[in-house]
Chains A and B, each alone.
Chain A
Amino acid sequence: MAKKPVKQKKLLAHKNTIKFGSFERRRGLEGWAFSLPWIVGFLLLMVLPLFLSVRTSFYQTKLTDPFGFDGDSQFVGFDNYVEVVKDPAYGEVVFNSFLESLYKVPVVVAFALFVAVLLKQDFPGRTIFRVIFFIPVILAGVIMSYLFSDEVGSISVFSTLTSSQTFGFVYKIFGRNIIGQIGTIMWASSVEILIFLAALQSVPAILYEVVELDGATAWESFWHVTLPYISPFVILNCVYALVDTFVDARNPVMSLLSNLNQAGNKYGVAAALSWMYMLATLLVILIFILLTRRWLR
Chain B
Amino acid sequence: MKAFFSKIADWFRGLVDKYRNLGYMAKKKLKFIIGRVFLYFVLIELAYLFILPFIYIFTTSMMSFQDYMDPTVKWIPTSIHWKNYSDAFKALAYFGMFKGDTGEKVFMSSFLNTCVTSFGSAILQSISCAIIGYALGRFKFKGRNIVFITVILALLIPPQTMIIATYGIWSKAGFINTFVPILLPCIFGLGIRGGLFALIYMYFFQRIPDAMDDAARIDGAGPFRVFLQIMLPLVRSAFAIVFIFSFVWHWNDNYEAPMYMYKDKVLTLQPKLQHIRQYFADLVGDSGAAEGGIGKAMTEPTLFAGCLLVLLPVLIVFIVGQKKLAAGIERIGVIE
Contact = CB atoms under 8 A, between A and B. Distances in A.
Interface of A: 27-35, 37-42, 44-46, 48-53, 55-56, 66-67, 69, 115, 118-119, 121, 123, 127, 129-143, 145-147, 150, 152-153, 155-157, 183, 186-187, 191, 194, 197-202, 204, 239, 243, 246-247, 249, 254, 257-258, 261, 267, 270-271, 274-275, 277-278, 281-282, 285
B188 A42 contact: yes
A17 to B, nearest CB: 16
B176 interface: no
18 contacts: A37-B132, A38-B131, A38-B151, A39-B147, A45-B188, A119-B43, A121-B39, A129-B43, A138-B315, A140-B249, A141-B252, A141-B253, A141-B270, A142-B271, A146-B303, A147-B57, A204-B335, A247-B158
A199 B329 CA distance: 11
Given A32-B135, A130-B329, A133-B47, 11 more contacts: A30-B141, A30-B223, A46-B154, A48-B169, A131-B322, A138-B315, A186-B50, A198-B332, A202-B334, A274-B161, A274-B162
A247 B160 contact: yes
Which residue, of A121, A135, A156, has the highest number of chain B Cβ atoms within 10 A?
Answer: A135
Contacts of B142: 28
Contacts, number: 252
B325 A27 contact: no
> What is the interface of chain A mostly: helix, strand, loop, or mixed?
helix
Nearest to A141: B252
Interface stretch (B2-10, B21-29, B93-101, B306-314): B306-314
Contacts of B46: 115, 133, 186
Interface in B217-252: 223, 227, 241, 245, 248-249, 251-252
Nearest to B241: A194
A249 B43 contact: no
Interface of B: 36, 39-40, 42-43, 45-54, 56-57, 128, 131-132, 134-136, 138-144, 147, 150-151, 153-169, 172, 184-185, 187-190, 196, 198, 203, 223, 227, 241, 245, 248-249, 251-255, 270-271, 273-274, 303-304, 307, 310-311, 314-315, 318, 322, 325-326, 329-330, 332-335
> What is the interface of chain B mostly: helix, strand, loop, or mixed?
helix
Contact of B310 (A39, A56, A143, A271): A143
B248 A123 contact: no
Which residue, of A142, A147, A261, A274, has the highest number of chain B Cβ atoms within 10 A?
Answer: A142
B50 A187 contact: yes
Instruction: Name the 5 nearest CB pairs between A and B, nearest first.
Output: A41-B188, A31-B139, A141-B252, A34-B135, A67-B168
A156 B50 CA distance: 10
Which residue, of A41, A246, A261, A271, has the highest number of chain B Cβ atoms within 10 A?
Answer: A41
Given A67-B165, A143-B57, A156 B150 contact: no
A194 to B, nearest CB: 7
Given A50-B165, A146-B303, A30 B139 contact: yes
Contact of B128 (A37, A52, A66): A37
B47 A129 contact: yes
Contacts of B154: 42, 46
Contacts of B254: 141-142, 249
Contacts of A204: 335
Contacts of A183: 49
A127 B248 CA distance: 20
A141 B258 CA distance: 12
Which residue, of A27, A31, A186, has the highest number of chain B Cβ atoms within 10 A?
Answer: A31
A137 B188 CA distance: 24
B191 to A, nearest CB: 9
B38 to A, nearest CB: 10
B52 A156 contact: yes
B326 A131 contact: yes
A35 B135 contact: yes
Given A37-B189, A38-B131, A156-B49, A257 B325 contact: no
Contact of A243 (B158, B163, B271): B158
A135 B187 CA distance: 27
A152 B160 contact: no
B135 A31 contact: yes
B141 A261 contact: no
A153 B131 contact: no
B219 to A, nearest CB: 16
